[in-house]
Amino acid sequence: MTTLVLGLNGSPRREGNSEFLLREALRGAASKGASIVQVDLAFMDVSPCRACDACFSDGRCSLRDDMDQLYGLMEKADAIIIASPIYFSGMSSHTKTVVDRCQALWARRNVLKEARAPGDGAIILVAAQPNAKFDNALSELRAFLIGIGVRPTEKMTLGGLDRKGMVADMPASLERAFDIGRSLVPDINASP
């Protein structure tokens, strides 16, 4: 069966640095035969989690918005790549809003014991400062992936990226992102 790799873009800048690296990662996954889907979180209609705990009873969120489609994709994906800019030393608010809404997926796994098939995950973070701090976002996104049953196996952090899309002129970084995408897809054609 074809591997599905889901890419979540947490930047509100079209053709921003997060998106360029995410696209390369998805291209890498596609180069090994995976189906790929990119979702631009900043352009979705997603309300913040209200902590109503409804998902603890049946795994369903009580809110009706674009998360309805994303939950299904996230459960189906064999691998998930999250790309976000650093905003005030954390992930973007667009990313965090979706992360919190995945409390429903956390509840399915950890409260209702409906485990999803295990998958692999990658985290890509970009920031303007050359010595930017990535620890907060990395720690939160790792906890998130583990919480929904995805192993965070790869990460890429890149500072010094201020201007929109400037990473497009950095071939070594694009190549690293491409390789991350490839590494998420099992080599089903490998000889025994």
Ligand X SMILES: Cc1cc2nc3c(=O)[nH]c(=O)nc-3n(C[C@H](O)[C@H](O)[C@H](O)COP(=O)(O)O)c2cc1C
Where on the chain is the footprint of ligand X (CB under 6 A)?
Answer: 11, 13, 16-18, 85-89, 126-129, 132, 161-162, 164
The dihedral sign for the CA sequence 46, 67, 177, 148: positive
Tally the residues of the chain.
Answer: 192
Q: Which residue has the tokens 């035969």?
A: 33
Residue nearest to ligand X (CB): 16
Q: Which is nearer to ligand X, 3 or 17 (CB)?
A: 17
| Least separation in angstroms between CB 183 and ligand X | 22
Q: Which is nearer to ligand X, 56 or 87 (CB)?
A: 87
Q: Which is nearer to ligand X, 13 or 32 (CB)?
A: 13
| Least separation in angstroms between CB 144 and ligand X | 19
| Least separation in angstroms between CB 90 and ligand X | 8
In 3D space, the residue among 152, 148, 151 whose CA is nearest the CA of residue 59 turns out to be: 148
| Least separation in angstroms between CB 84 and ligand X | 8
Measured distance CA(25)–CA(21) in Å, rounded: 6
Measured distance CA(180)–CA(177) in Å, rounded: 5
| Least separation in angstroms between CB 103 and ligand X | 24
Measured distance CA(110)–CA(95) in Å, rounded: 22
User: In this structure, which amino acid lies at residue 160?
Assistant: G
Q: Which is nearer to ligand X, 10 or 121 (CB)?
A: 10
Strand-pair category, 35-40 with 4-9: parallel
Q: Which is nearer to ligand X, 40 or 100 (CB)?
A: 40
